[in-house]
Every structure is written in C-alpha cells, then in structure tokens.
Structure 1
Amino acid sequence: MRKNIYVLMLFLGVMLVEGCTDLQEEVLDESLTGNVTNGDVIAGTLAPAYASLSEVFLHTRYFALQEISTDEAILPYRGGTDWGDNNIYIDMHRHTYTPMNAPVTNTWNFISQGITRSVIAVSNVRALQSEGQQVDAYLAEARGLRAYYSMLSLDLFGIVMSKDTLDVRSRVLRGDEAVNYIEQDLLAAEAVLDNTNGPGRITKAAAQGLLARLYLNAPVYRSPYAETHDFRREDMQKVVEYCNKVIEAGNYALSSEFFEIFDDENHTNKELIFAIDQRANLNGNNRMAYFSLSGDQFPLPQFVNANGTDGPGITPEFYHSWVDAYDGADPATKDMRFYKKNLDPAVTCIAAADFELDRGILRGQQYGLQTDRKGTPFKRCGDGANYVVGPLFNNTRGNPTQPVIFTEEVDYTTYSGYSSGYRVLKYEFSKTSDDGRAKGEFDIILLRLADIYMMRAEAKLRMDDAAGALQDVNAVRAARTARIGIPPLEAIDLDIMFRERGFEFYFEMQRRTDMIRFGKYENAWTEKTNSDPLKRLFPIPQTAIDGASEFEGFLEQNDGY
C-alpha cells in the first residue's frame, strides 16, 4: 500500500510529509549536517531518497530486469518447482513479460519511490535556500539523485516523471525531452559538487560519470525502437569530455585484484565512484552474493543457514564468449576476471578464518563445508577446532548421493536441476554480518572507474578512433596484475567492445542496456527466440496504468503491450 502512495504522489502531486525513520537513515555516514543551520532537515530529507536505492537493486528486482532478460543469466525451475513463481523469470528471459510481471512492477514501484523522495528532497532544500540557508551543495546532490532515478526509469520504461514541487501533477517525458531533463539535473549537480563525499553519495565525479552514461545511451533513449541508432558525434564527444574529467582528476584508481572491487569491505576501494552504501547492516537487503550459489554452498562457518539459493546460472552462449576470446583455452588461465581459486581440493581441514569460497564463474565439482543438511552444525576435524572441507553433495535438496557439479548446460527442461548452469559469485559474502545470507555488507557498485575507461573507449570507437579505444580497453586489462594478469588486445571493433564489457561487468546489472545499445537484444540464445524490438522497453505496470486512469491520456502503455 505504501508503494502505491508514492506512485500516486509522483503522478498527482499530493502533499505528503515524509517520515521514514525505519529505513536506517545512517546510510549517509558522511555528515549530511555539516554547519548547515537546518541540518536535521537536510539529513532527514536526503537519507530516505538514498535508502530507496537498496530496494531498487534487490536481486529479484533490477537485477532480474537487467540480467535475467539477457544472455548472461538464466533462472529455470530448479528441481521442477523452485523459482517457478508463475513463470516470472522464464518470461523475463524469453522476453514474454507482461504489464503484470512482478519484477517489473516491483522495480517500477521502488524507482517511483526514489523519484518521489528525491523530489521531496529538492523541494525541502529549496525551501531552506529561499530562507537564505547556504545549501547549494545539498540541492545539487538532491538533483543528481533525482536524475539517477529518472535515468533508471527512462532506460527501463522509456519515460521520466518530471516534477519540481509537490503541489503539481508530474509531466510524462519521453525521448529528447526526457534526456534533456536528466541532463539539466546532472549538469547542475556537476557544477556545484566536489568529491569530498562518496562513494555512497552523489559527487562531482558521479555526476560526470552519469553524464557520460546518459550521452552514450542518448541515441537509444531518443528513439528506443529504431532499427539503427544515431550515435551523434557531439554526444560521443561529451562522453569523452566527462570521462576525461573523472580520469584526469586522479581521485580514483583501477584495482590490481579484480575481485577486491567486490569484497565485503569494498567501501574504500579506490575504483568505486558511486555505490549503495551497505556497511554495518545499513539496509539489510543485500543478497547479491548468495543468489546464484548452490543450496549446499555455505560460505560462512558461523552461519549454518547462510547457504545459496540455486538461483541464476550463466548461459552457454555467454560462457563461450570467454572461450572463443581465448581461442578455446580455459578462460581461468587467461583472464583473472573469470575466476579466482580460493579452495584447494587437496586441503580437507581448514580454520574458519581461512575458509573462503572460490569467486567468479564457478564450474564443475564444488567444494566446501561439510554438513548433513541445512541448519545442522558443520563437521569438525579431529582437533575439534577446524572444519572439514570436501566435495559437496545435494544434501539440502534431499539427494545426498548427487554431487554438486555445475554444468555448462542449462535450460528449462532437460537441464533444469539444482546443479545445472555455471554459477557466479562476484560479490563476497559478508564476514561480519549477523545474517550473512540476507545482509551483505559490500557496497553495491553503480559506477566505477573501469566503466569510465570503457565508456570513453566506446565513444572513441564510435567516432572511428579505434587506436584510442584500444588504448583505453587495454589500460583496464593491464591494471589487473595481482594474479595472472590479462593479455592486451591487439585490435578492437564494436563486437569486441561489447564482449569486453561483458567480461568486465558481468552480473553488474548493465547487460540489457549494453545489448540494446549494441543491437544484440533481439538475438537468440538459450531458451530465448523472441526478436521483437518492442521488448527493448518493459511495460508500464498495469497497477500504475490503473492508478492514473481517472486522468485520461496521462499515462499511456508502451507499444507492444
């Protein structure tokens, strides 16, 4: 019910006093109050706006729309029943989603909530400004956050709800008008903010990076169903301009160890530019680490219930993009981004502090803590202190003789069992949370320095500067030196650029946007043959259409639904 209130407020401009004391507003750990006379108003109005991010980016919301709809992730019925959920994830993957699809509706609701709270923040800070308060930076931050939520809405649904004050009805913007609206908010933020705070807040660098992302995707946003998109030189030049600003400021650095970017203590990692601050159980929503793992993978010896959920695997097509890139060689031996080995199968006894699951794309027989079933204590070694480690079996699934062997094959019929599909563990399980399964403490990354280099490379490539593009992509590859390193590319074109983004950003919720921009979203892959370009945009939820029905023509459904 509360979500519907936000949506109606967004549409109709109903006055509502925001009182979100239950959303752990400490998420803004860097002081919001400073020396502002009315600092409590500032903190109380910006914190709820940021808090909506953790709801949008829940694994069954934005992740589902951006990853399960693509060739990177597939989520079948596990064991014939688990994850059935009325076909919502199968429809997502097959592009047969409808206006009643639950992940679509829930994502829309929480983006709408974020926009509404950002509008409240803008309105409240402007009220202080009118009283002579020095709050320019806070207004810029609120506008930057409103722009981010608006860009999510434009990317997914093709519309933006434009609203400056609470006493007017929103305007529905599409195409150029929507792009310009977001641009103005980001430009206002970029002009005023510095890089003092972050990565959990909008900073100057965050605004610059989001401007680059906006200009890079502007051809799609202006004409989402076009057969080919017009990548205007002036847009690509702006991508390069704003990426240059971030890089040349020297405030950020590429990580030498790829998976450290996604560790549970990643808040201070210098590659992060903008992220959802999840430290110290701030929101308690972060489940990205356990989503893909087996139900018999227990990452934390102190939590006997913190196991995986046998969620999405990767498609064979995405896996073979790695294999093909390295001429059939095992990608784990060529590219550190693919896999990091932490468990040695030869070691059968390990201290709790030393136990850590492998990271990256997980294949074949899995090893881990030994237990009879979920909720029972882990087996101890003869010394009574350390833990027994060995090959895993499907104990939690009632099949203790079937090993947990992740297979390349995965589909909705023959290969839909609990162990089908290679899995992904990119983000690390929290080592200190009181519920390692549900309360991850890593920051969810929304923008990082590697994407700045990659966006600049793509923009250069689209302006026929292949040499400059190659240099930027190889700069990212060359930075990853902690283990095996990554060999440089010898040449680049748009297909290789797309492939490289997949290697760098898999399971980071960028794939759908990338596939549309590179003209690949209508392609066929495992269990998906739909080539309808109208599926590039998700349907506006039926609940939203119904909620605005008394205002004829106000909110029109996207084409094809």
Structure 2
Amino acid sequence: MKKTKIFSLVFVFFLSFLYQGCTDLDEEVFDKLPVDEFGNTEMQINSLIAPIYRTLKGVFPSNYFLLSECSADMAITPTRKGGDWWDGGQFKELRLHTWTPNTSLVRDSYNSAMESISSCNKIYSMIEENESIADKEQILAEIRGVRAFWYYLLLDYYGNVPVVTDFNDTSNPATESRSNVYQFVLSELNAIKDIVRDDVTAASYGKITKGVVNTLLAKMYLNAEVWYPEGGPKWQECIAACDEVMGMDYVLEPNFKASFVVQNQNSKEIIFPIVFSTADGGNHIHKRTLHYLDPIPLNLNVGTWNGVSAMPQYVKDYDDDDKRIDWSFLTGPMHDTDGSVLVTAHGRELIHTIDIEIKYNLDEDGWGQVEQEEGARCSKWDFESGLNGDMENDMAIFRLADVYLMKAEALVRLNEDNAEATRLINLLRARAFDGADKLYSSVTLDDVYKERRFELAWEISARQDMIRFGTFLDEIPGWKDVTPEKCLIFPIPQTALDANPELVQNPGY
C-alpha cells in the first residue's frame, strides 16, 4: 500500500474512534484491512463518512450557538457574582458588539469551521481515490453537502473567507469575496440536490438528504439580499425550495416538544440534526445554562456551569398564553427535596427571574456582575431525570417549522398569497395556544418576524433573522447602544491572518 493511503485510513480510524458513539450512522471501527478491500459494504462506507457528521458538534451548544444568540438579543452569558463567566471579557464583547479579531469565540468558531472543512476535504479525497468503492457519486455528494453547510456558516458569520476543496493543495488560500462564497455554496448545493438520497426514514436520519439540501437552498435564497446583494432578491426561489421540502415526508409534529425530547430521533419534523449521545461528548446545553443547584430539583447527577440565560425582553415579548414560554425557558423557584426553596452560595433564594440586573463591580462600559440565580434558563431540550453526563437529545439544525416560516416570509415580502402565509403561521400557533382566538386572519412581515422568534428561541436563528430584518445593529435599551455596520459580520481571527498572509481582514476591523 502507498503511504498516503495508509495515512488516509489511519486518519479515518482515529476520527471514528475519537467520536465513537450511538449516532444511528451505523459506524464501526475497522483495522488491519487493506485499503483496496475497504469501502465495499454500507457499514464500511458509513464508518468512513461518520466523522464528517461529527464535526457538526462544533455548532451547538458552543461556538456558533453562542455567537448567534449572544450577539443577538436572544441570549446573554452574564458575568455572575464572584466572577464566573467573565471568560476574558468575550461575553461582554458579544453583548456590547465590541468583539475584535482576538475574541476567543470569534477565533474558535472560525477554526472549528475550517478544521471541519479540512476533514471533509480529506475524506472526500480518500474516497475519490479509492478504486475499491463503487457507485461513489452519492457518497461524495454527502461530503460536499456537509462541507457546503460549513461554508454556509462562514458565509453568514464571516462573509469573506477562503474557499478550499482540494485537500492536497498545501498553498495558502486567498480570501474570496462574500459574493463569491455565496455563489460557491449555491453551486455546490444545486450540483448535489438530485444526487443525494431523498428518503425521510430512520436510515437517512442525520445525513445529507434532498430535504437537507433544499432547506439549505431556501436559507441561501432567503438571505440573498444580505449575502449577495448584487444578485437581487430570491424570494420566489426560496418558495420553490420550501415547496420541495414540504412535498416530502416530513411532518409538523402535533406535539411541539416531540422535536426536543430525549429520544427525539423519532420526530418527523426534524430535517437535519446534530446527532448526540451520552457516550461521545453529547449535548451539554444543560451544563451550560443551569445553576449549580438546579440538578437537585431536576434529578440530574451532573455538575452544571450557571452560564447562558435568555435576554429579559426576548421572554417578555411572548404572549402570556403562549405555551412555548414554558416549553423553552426555565423560570421561577427551584425547590430542594424537602420542598423548600434552594439557597445559593450567596445566601439568596434560587429563583430564576426573567429580569437580569448588572449591579456589582460595574466598569466604564456599564458591564459588571449579576446575581447567580438571575435569568431564564434554556429548557427547550428536555432534561432526562437521573442523567449522569451529557444529554442524548439531538439538536435540529433545520426542522419543518422553520421551512413554514421561510415560505411565509417570502410570500409576504413578495406580497403574494397572504392566505397561504397566514395558514402556515397559524399551523405553528395552533399548537402553541389553546383556542382559535390567537390565530391570525392575515399576517404582516412583523408578524412573521415575531413568530420566528417565538418558535425558534435557542435554535441559532436570532442573529441571522435580526440582520435580515434590519434590527441587529439597533439599540437594546439598558444593554447596548446602536452599533456600527461592520458588526454585521465578524472579523477574521488574528491568528488566521498571522498564519496566512493571503487573507484579508473584514472591513472596519
């Protein structure tokens, strides 16, 4: 065997071992198998490509989740009394829109995407060169789909980035304009949309499918005026992509929580999940959001970090009768096993208030520390009683409710078929409210915007939506002033610029 091919298999074995877990991808680690005999079975193929899907765990509930929700008006990771979550000031910078090329999350999120793209390119190259693998077109299309998703994130968050598809090209890649990156992602998605599998089954769950690709296309068209303004609006194309997805076997679950329960892989509403399990570094949103004592009433045997909470006004904007408040946010008193309200280390009752008040150690920017118990916590993904580690609940990057919302928005923006837009919005509201009095007779663009916020809280949607609706730079009273236009994209990390002289910093940074 050639050394390069030996390395290829070792690379995949390492990644498969590193990320091994219950993912419904039927992966199995192989060793001591000649490369020309590997890739002849579906199990072996799944073992080869499983690592590219595991890269998605860099999206939630860390890097891009925090960049999106904490830079928008959805969430905040406040510095707690005693100094917890100061983290070098990065969460202050996200809240105030004062991030720099050296902000940790800006750097880590960029690196996560670039490393994931490199993994995709490596496995693509290995499979493409392996003559023992027959009918590889669909397999390669899957890899291109995951890579296109990572470039979709870079396009959204960083705008102007290098595009690399050849793993064997070791030259320094140059920065491509946001318009060029947009056109690249669009061309990749259109190239694979009729090649990838089109089933909506347990076998296709967690993989790149026609439904995933068309949902990504809908996102691309929905944001075209922001990401590719010279190409003009693409609302009709967005509608067409949404119709493709809505014509498949996905189902808007009658029970909203079906997409967030522990075993949510059975939800027919989920289009593209990050597949988690307790065995392989799974979903740790419970650790990131819950107070140190919250595991007592929730019967969790885990250490929690008392971090991210909802921005107060975001929660207050819900209708009081909207059941999605309780389905998404943990508020109120937390009780000990004897029924008494728990008391924090600072001698305060553990009552999760919606309001958050900065009142200790204020600096010249108005940032300081808040009480440990303040803030509505994320409870959208059910906490499994008795849990000893990470959660198994998968995170739906895309689900059918979002497709309904995208189509409704495009219809309203086109001033076409308001009845259909209203019907789609009302399908979501019907499961969130008791009684028909909360349904709309017609919808405005503002109605659609608000419904996206109520439906998609915590789901990495807030920043993108605010930018598209023109609210991202606005003042958040009591939290931040109007911010400059440069903040519509993040800077290229300084470490990346130092490593590659061909890169160009984004304007204003």
Indicate the SS of the match to 2:80: coil
Distance 1:444 1:434 in 2: 19
| Corresponding residue for residue 274 of structure 1 | 272
- The answer as to whether partners of 1:163 and 1:171 remain within 8 angstroms in 2 is no
**Partner amino acid for 1:181?**
F
| Structure 1 position 317 matched with structure 2 position 300 | no
1:132 Cα deviation (Å)?
A: 7.1
| 1:297 maps to which of 291, 294, 299 | 294
| Structure 1 position 199 matched with structure 2 position 205 | yes
| Corresponding residue for residue 486 of structure 2 | 534
Q: Quick one: percent identity of the two aligned structures?
A: 28
CA deviation digits over 1:317-357, x for unaligned, max 9?
Answer: 213322xxx4xxxx2xx212111xxxxxxxxxxxxxxxxxx
TM-score (norm: length of structure 1):
0.79
Distance 1:91 1:296 in 2: 28
- The answer as to whether partners of 1:477 and 1:486 remain within 8 angstroms in 2 is no
| Corresponding residue for residue 496 of structure 2 | 544
**Partner amino acid for 1:428?**
D
Distance 2:50 2:387 in 1: 22
**Partner amino acid for 1:146?**
R
CA deviation digits over 1:478-522, x for unaligned, max 9?
Answer: 2457x7788212332222211110000011111001110110001
**Partner amino acid for 2:486?**
L
- The answer as to whether partners of 2:25 and 2:50 remain within 8 angstroms in 1 is no
Indicate the SS of the match to 2:101: coil
| Structure 1 position 556 matched with structure 2 position 500 | no
| 1:391 maps to which of 334, 341, 348 | 341
| Corresponding residue for residue 152 of structure 1 | 153
**Partner amino acid for 2:305?**
T
| Corresponding residue for residue 188 of structure 1 | 191
Distance 1:85 1:132 in 2: 47
| Corresponding residue for residue 364 of structure 2 | none
| Corresponding residue for residue 323 of structure 2 | 336
1:294 Cα deviation (Å)?
A: 2.3
Distance 2:82 2:159 in 1: 35
1:5-44 alignment, distance < 5 Å: 17=11, 19-26=14-21, 28-31=23-26, 37=40, 42-44=45-47
Distance 1:63 1:446 in 2: 10
CA deviation digits over 1:194-217, x for unaligned, max 9?
Answer: 225333111111111111011111
| Corresponding residue for residue 352 of structure 1 | none
Alpha-carbon distance change, 532 to 133 in structure 1, aligned in 2, over 3 angstroms? same
- The answer as to whether partners of 2:273 and 2:398 remain within 8 angstroms in 1 is yes
Indicate the SS of the match to 2:310: coil
| Corresponding residue for residue 55 of structure 1 | 58
Alpha-carbon distance change, 132 to 81 in structure 1, aligned in 2, over 3 angstroms? closer
1:267 Cα deviation (Å)?
A: 1.1
Distance 1:256 1:273 in 2: 16
| Corresponding residue for residue 97 of structure 2 | 95
| Corresponding residue for residue 67 of structure 1 | 69
Alpha-carbon distance change, 541 to 268 in structure 1, aligned in 2, over 3 angstroms? same
TM-score (norm: length of structure 2):
0.86
| 1:220 maps to which of 226, 229, 233 | 226
1:417 Cα deviation (Å)?
A: 0.7
The gaps in structure 2 that reach 5 residues or longer are 1-9, 29-37, 361-368
| Structure 1 position 116 matched with structure 2 position 130 | no
- The answer as to whether partners of 1:99 and 1:539 remain within 8 angstroms in 2 is yes
1:116-515 alignment, distance < 5 Å: 116-128=118-130, 133-168=134-169, 169=171, 170=173, 172-193=175-196, 194-195=198-199, 196=201, 197-223=203-229, 232=233, 235-249=234-248, 251-279=249-277, 281-298=278-295, 303-304=300-301, 306-322=302-318, 326=319, 331=320, 334-339=321-326, 359-364=327-332, 366-368=333-335, 370=336, 379=337, 388-394=338-344, 397-399=345-347, 402-413=348-359, 416-431=370-385, 433-435=387-389, 439-465=390-416, 466-480=418-432, 487-515=438-466
- The answer as to whether partners of 2:405 and 2:425 remain within 8 angstroms in 1 is yes
Distance 1:524 1:192 in 2: 45
Indicate the SS of the match to 1:391: coil
Indicate the SS of the match to 1:294: coil
Alpha-carbon distance change, 262 to 485 in structure 1, aligned in 2, over 3 angstroms? farther
Alpha-carbon distance change, 160 to 39 in structure 1, aligned in 2, over 3 angstroms? farther
Alpha-carbon distance change, 294 to 203 in structure 1, aligned in 2, over 3 angstroms? same
| Structure 1 position 76 matched with structure 2 position 72 | no
| Corresponding residue for residue 9 of structure 1 | none
Distance 1:263 1:88 in 2: 31
Alpha-carbon distance change, 319 to 301 in structure 1, aligned in 2, over 3 angstroms? closer
Indicate the SS of the match to 1:426: coil
Distance 1:17 1:267 in 2: 29
1:431 Cα deviation (Å)?
A: 4.4
Distance 1:95 1:443 in 2: 30
**Partner amino acid for 1:298?**
P
1:69 Cα deviation (Å)?
A: 0.7
**Partner amino acid for 1:558?**
N
- The answer as to whether partners of 1:94 and 1:530 remain within 8 angstroms in 2 is no
CA deviation digits over 1:347-401, x for unaligned, max 9?
Answer: xxxxxxxxxxxx422333x233x2xxxxxxxx5xxxxxxxx4442322xx252xx
CA-based RMSD: 2.7
Distance 2:114 2:195 in 1: 26
1:303 Cα deviation (Å)?
A: 4.4
Indicate the SS of the match to 2:247: helix
Indicate the SS of the match to 1:289: helix
Alpha-carbon distance change, 559 to 282 in structure 1, aligned in 2, over 3 angstroms? farther
- The answer as to whether partners of 2:300 and 2:385 remain within 8 angstroms in 1 is no
Distance 1:147 1:486 in 2: 42
